[in-house]
Chains A and B, each alone.
Chain A
Amino acid sequence: MSAHKYSSVQNIDNSTPVVDRNLKPKITARSVDVFYSGKQALFGVDLEIGSQTVTSLIGPSGCGKSTFLRCMNRMNDVIEGCTVTGTIKLDGNDINSSDVDVVQLRALVGMVFQKPNPFPKSIYDNVAYGPRIHGLVSGSSETDEIVENSLRRAGLWDEVKERLQEPGTGLSGGQQQRLCIARAIAVSPEVILMDEPCSALDPIATAIIEELIDELRENFTIVIVTHSMQQAARVSQRTAFFHLGNLVEFGDTELIFTNPREQRTQDYITGRFG
């Protein structure tokens, strides 16, 4: 509804195809509005998330990027007074329609949060929890396998294989976040949403996670919210810039960072506001 205020966004919608050339869009959002107790937080966001790419959402605090991220696995459902309008389609199916169950959706669209939040259980149980509740595993050998696989893909296996029964909360911050990633990929989702996954980590742990994100791109579609422009530039192929609840600009990361169409994008990435 407010898209007409920004001609470039309309341009994206009408003329230039947003979708990556070869890949089908994994998630398609159309005129998504979000209200928190009547206060509008997102204004008509149209966005396409390409399959097996890393899409980063950037923008100043309170711009609605996390809100949009949480729309994609309906985490906003649990927030009192939050309403989402518009359509978000995952592989062509409206995720808000009545025949899509939220539990099923979250098995397909996993999430990694800002602060590492492992369950206060063992490392093993942290990873095994998802497969167990969805009934993806039967028997302990199958569970062992999925736990090992997930931890390996999260690059944590070698560090924790000797102490799988120790509490996940005893790991370092970076390890905890990789444990959370392992937990998310254990249910083999198609999309992984990451809400500022490195904001609580030191540069070394951040580098490891970024490397991991790049590897995971082969198998998963990744959407990452980040405050770090460098991180967005390093890990993502597509970047969306949000400001005051509007999607200002969306395109290839390279273009956004080298030659943004919008003045506000330019100002933000060069650090003039934000």
Chain B
Amino acid sequence: MNDTIMDSGLRPSRETANIVRRGLKKRYAAEQRFKLYGLLAVCAALAFLVIMLGNIIYKGHTAFIQTEVKLEIYFDEDVIDPTGKRDEQTLRGADYGRLIKTSLRKQFPNVQKRRDKRKLYRIVSAGSPFELYRMVQKDPSLIGKTQAIWISAAANIDILNKGGIDTTRPETERRVNNKEISWYENLREAGLIRADFNTRFFTAGDSRDPEQAGVLGAVIGSLLTLAITLLLSFPFGVMAAIYLEEFAPQNRWTDIIEVNINNLAAVPSIVFGLLGLAVFLNFFGLPRSAPLVGGMVLALMTLPTIIIASRAALKSVPPSIREAALGVGASRMQVVTDHVAPLAMPGILTGTIIGMARALGESAPLLMIGMVAFIVDVPQSPTDPATVLPVQVYLWADSPERAFVERTSAAIIVLIGFLVCMNLTAQILRQKFEKHW
């Protein structure tokens, strides 16, 4: 038996087994090493993610809390509306700051020096007179009454209350001096200081005062911009993909188009911003800083992504489905609308959402079309001047006030929240609508 195998030029089987066994250890070791490298890579990536997210959340979570000071405010009719007309004009123009100052003086009667008084007034936010105006505007019957009101503390007091200031350091090296600290302690012991959820952060637009600044303007700006982007890029992208994939003949022209689309997807976004500036603003004269133009620029940027993703999704629909539909006599359009497009839709939607998420995080092209301006008002329509979340992050990161540090991180948390929601939606859509055959 063995001889015949030897004769036929083959090794006896026992010998083969021995050779295999000798090599086994090495093979398994290589496999183990390979798995280890992979695991290390994943761990490293996860570690960076945790460090980044942890850092942002650690820095940003305090921005969701706002320190407030309770003051007894006497809504003095002589100050607000001496004539008693109660008209809008007078109410808006009144000196509400004086009411606060009076209240603070009453709270701290010992403060006499002019300079100290000025410091004392700065315990509360510079925007607090506006808060009072809003109250009176809502309820004019307040005039003439005295009421205890929680008023936003100034940024420095806010940081002090959150433990962000090291009081053991010499007075000249910190942002609050000893007197301010003593006033703060005084108020706190009297139970007149509280830390409340910072609703203003979610209901206000941008402001120069950190404690008055909110992300609503940027969030609405982002949503309007994204809506325009989606409205423009989704139908165009999907139609282009369907045409190229299902109808266009394969020739030199479609090859050129394909190469160009792939190139366009790799063009730096700032180039699209410059294009938008030159074409939409300078040539067509569309409004500056508007979500309309921002959306158009981002649509140009997202279009190739959507086309490429949609084509891939259409390509992954098995040809047998097309043949089946053609075989019963469906027209080519019926093949697309009844079978191919619905089957490709999860992939198309996933691609679109990923493109949208990229557009949501984009700032460079929007800087070029003026969406970097300081805008206090929350935009009401796509033609109002607005900014977007990533640009807001950029603006706040650039602001010198210390309290903007935590707000920058908080805005990043909001932005990441949106991104997570979008990517989750993409994932859910994919799982829910993906058909298996």
Residue contact A78 to B326, C-beta cutoff 8 Å: yes
A129-B338 in contact given A78-B326, A183-B328 (Cβ < 8 Å): yes
Cβ of B424 under 8 Å from chain A:
no
Cα distance, A106 to B331, chains bound together (Å): 10
Could you say which residues of chain A place their CB within 8 Å of the CB of B321? 117, 119-120
Check if A73 is an interface residue, CB within 8 A of chain B: yes
> Could you mark each residue 81-112 of chain A with 1 if its beta carbon is under 8 Å from any beta carbon of chain B, else 0?
00000000000000000000001111100111
- Assess the A106–B437 pair: CB atoms within 8 A: no
CB pair B339–A110 under 8 Å, yes or no, is: no
B140 sits at the interface (CB 8 A): no
- Which of B249, B330, B334 counts the most A-chain CB atoms under 10 A from its CB? B330
* A contacts with B: majority SS: helix
Q: Which of A120, A169, A187 contacts B328 (CB 8 A)?
A: A187
Contact yes or no, A133 B338, CB < 8 A: yes
CB contacts (< 8 Å) of B320 on chain A: these are 113, 115, 117
Which B residue sits closest to A108, measured CB to CB? B329
Check A103 against B329 for contact (C-beta < 8 Å): yes
A5–chain B nearest beta-carbon distance, Å = 33
A118 at the binding interface (Cβ < 8 Å) = yes
Instruction: List chain A residues, Cβ under 8 A from B325.
Output: 119, 129
Identify B343's interface contact among A78, A103, A120, CB under 8 A.
A120
- The reply to whether A117 and B331 contact each other, CB–CB distance below 8 Å, is no
Residues in B neighbouring A186, C-beta threshold 8 A = 328
Q: Is the CB of B437 within 8 A of A80?
A: no
Known: A106-B328, A107-B329, A129-B328. A120 touches B323 (CB 8 A): no
B343 (CB) vs chain A CBs: closest residue: A120
From known contacts A120-B435, A133-B334, A169-B436, infer whether A73 and B327 are also in contact, taking CB-CB under 8 Å: yes
From residue 179 to 200 of chain A, which have CB atoms closer than 8 A to chain B? 180, 183-184, 186-187
Interface residues in B418-437 (C-beta closer than 8 Å to A): 435-437
Q: State whether the Cβ of B50 lies closer than 8 Å to any Cβ in chain A.
A: no
Are B327 and A75 neighbours in the complex by a CB distance under 8 Å? yes
CA distance A75 to B331 in the complex (A): 12
Q: Which single member of A80, A105, A113, A133 contacts B324 (CB below 8 Å)?
A: A113
Whether B327 pairs with A119 at a CB distance below 8 angstroms is no
* A130 and B329 contact, CB distance less than 8 A: yes
**How far apart sit A78 and B321, CA to CA, in the bound complex (Å)?**
13
Whether A134 sits at the interface, judged by CB under 8 Å, is yes
Partner of B250, one of A80, A115, A134: A80
B329 near A106 with CB under 8 A, answer: yes
| B258 shortest CB reach to chain A, Å | 15
Rounded to whole Å, the gap between the CB of B222 and the closest CB of chain A is: 37
Q: How far is the CA of A119 from the CA of B340 in the complex (A)?
A: 10
Task: Mark each residue of chain A from 49 to 76: 1 if its CB lies under 8 Å from any CB of chain B, else 0.
Answer: 0000000000000000000000001010
Chain A nearest CB: distance from B115 CB in Å? Answer: 79
Expressed in whole angstroms, the minimum distance between the Cβ of B329 and any Cβ of chain A is 4
CB distance from B130 to the nearest CB of A (A): 60
Interface residues of B in 331-373 (CB under 8 A from A): 331, 334, 338-339, 343
Binary flags per residue of B267-311, CB closer than 8 Å to A gives 1, else 0: 000000000000000000000000000000000000000000000
Question: Which residues does chain A contribute within 8 Å of B437, judged by CB atoms?
Answer: 120, 169
Contact between chains at A113 and B323 (CB < 8 Å): yes
Q: How far is the CB of B335 from chain A (nearest CB, A)?
A: 9
Tell me if B327 and A110 are in contact (CB < 8 A). Answer: yes
Choose among B250, B320, B322 the residue with the greatest number of A CB atoms under 10 Å from its CB.
Answer: B320
A180 contacts which chain B residues (CB < 8 A)?
324
A110 contact from B328, B330, B435, Cβ within 8 A:
B328
Task: Give the shortest distance, in Å, between A195 (CB) and chain B (any CB).
Answer: 10
Interfacial residues of chain B within 378-437, with CB under 8 A of chain A in the complex: 435-437
Complex: A187 Cα to B437 Cα, angstroms: 24
Q: Does B327 lie within 8 Å of A113, measured CB to CB? A: yes
Question: Are B331 and A119 neighbours in the complex by a CB distance under 8 Å?
Answer: no
Q: How far is the CA of A134 from the CA of B330 in the complex (A)?
A: 8
Residues A184 and B328 in contact in the complex (CB < 8 Å), given A80-B249, A169-B437:
yes
CB distance from A129 to the nearest CB of B (A): 6
Q: How far is the CA of A197 from the CA of B331 in the complex (A)?
A: 24
A133 touching B323 by the CB < 8 A rule? no
Residues of B within 8 A of A105 (CB): 329
Cβ of A103: which chain B residues have Cβ within 8 Å of it? Answer: 329-331
Binary contact readout A200-233 vs B (1 if CB under 8 angstroms, 0 otherwise): 0000000000000000000000000000000000
Q: With A and B bound together, what is the CA distance between A112 and B320 in angstroms?
A: 11
A75 and B323 contact, Cβ closer than 8 Å, known pairs A103-B329, A187-B328, A187-B329: yes
**Assembly CA distance A75 to B327 (angstroms):** 8
Q: How far is the CA of A219 from the CA of B111 in the complex (A)?
A: 108
How many angstroms from the CA of A115 to the CA of B320 in the assembled complex? 8
| B436 / chain A contacts, CB cutoff of 8 Å | 120, 169
Q: How far is the CA of A105 from the CA of B326 in the complex (A)?
A: 11
What are 27 residue pairs bridging A and B, where the CB atoms are less than 8 Å apart in the complex? Answer: A78-B323, A80-B249, A103-B329, A103-B330, A103-B331, A105-B329, A110-B327, A110-B328, A111-B323, A112-B327, A113-B320, A113-B323, A113-B327, A115-B320, A117-B318, A117-B320, A117-B323, A118-B324, A120-B437, A129-B325, A130-B328, A130-B329, A169-B436, A169-B437, A180-B324, A183-B324, A186-B328
A-to-B contact residues, CB < 8 Å: 73, 75, 78, 80, 103-107, 110-113, 115, 117-120, 129-130, 133-134, 169, 180, 183-184, 186-187
User: What residues of chain B have their CB less than 8 Å away from a CB belonging to chain A?
Assistant: 249-250, 318, 320-331, 334, 338-339, 343, 435-437
Given contacts A105-B329, A120-B321, 11 further A-B pairs with CB under 8 A are A78-B326, A106-B326, A106-B328, A110-B329, A111-B327, A119-B321, A129-B325, A129-B330, A133-B330, A133-B338, A134-B329
By Cβ-Cβ distance, the 3 closest A-B pairs, closest first, are: A106-B329, A111-B327, A130-B328
